[in-house]
Structure 1
């Protein structure tokens, strides 16, 4: 998409992250202070910008040599279906090209997008997690 600039940065304001995460109705957007810290702690963060507006982001954690885990991938709704998500994934794939694998836990409605980006669905694995909501 013309005009979109991609950055490799860990520094975001609370407002930028809150707006991005809440635009896709992710509950973590209600914790912008924690998101600012989380972005600083991720191994890799690529972001997409339209001028001064944060419109997309992908973050990953890694073990330094073999495995990388994509944690967040989100694009503001009005910027979706314009190639931004795919470009963010491609940047992660290039960054981790020498690793043995890149993993992502995707919701069922997201699997087609990730397959389009080259990921394969595991037949013998199930995502598992513990979620504790703090009020």
Structure 2
């Protein structure tokens, strides 16, 4: 597995299959746009096929706060440590930022706790018509 923060040479065609179980899945073109618009990004590329199999993004003011909105690994590549590697790389990249926030479903809380994060309350709005 190769990890990179560079999006050079990445096309929307390389981003198929993500956003599993989302009610309105962003297209690969929107996916590429969100990667390019993020402050920080890491992608995991399976070296043999050159397929992108996972990604993580962060948005930050680069002073006090950062938010990790997305971490996803394609289903057929899950449980191989790829998500953990992506999260570890992003947390290292954000080292020194006072607060790093992430919102997740209840079934993922223990996954993120293993990386030193702790459960907190949060509020959100989801505009499913926006996609």
Give the TM-score band, short-chain normalised.
0.7 to 0.9
Give the Cα separation in 2 of the matches to 1:132 and 1:83: 30
Match of 1:126?
122
Give the Cα separation in 2 of the matches to 1:88 and 1:102: 15
TM-score under structure 2 length normalisation: 0.87
CA RMSD, 1 decimal: 1.8
Match of 2:4?
7
TM-score under structure 1 length normalisation: 0.85
CA contact (8 A) 1:18 1:30 kept: no
Q: Which shows bigger deviation, 29-38 or 99-108?
A: 29-38
SS at match of 1:25: coil
Give the Cα separation in 2 of the matches to 1:40 and 1:102: 20
Q: Which structure carries more helix by proportion? A: 1
Give the Cα separation in 2 of the matches to 1:7 and 1:28: 28
Gaps of 5+ in 1: none
Match of 2:44?
48
Gaps of 5+ in 2: none
**How many residues are aligned here?**
128
Q: How does 1:78-93 map to 2 (within 5 A)?
A: 78-93=76-91
Give the Cα separation in 2 of the matches to 1:36 and 1:45: 11
Give the Cα separation in 2 of the matches to 1:76 and 1:62: 25
Distance change in 2, residues 1:27/1:48 (3 Å): farther
Moved runs in structure 1, 4+ residues, more than 6 A?
none
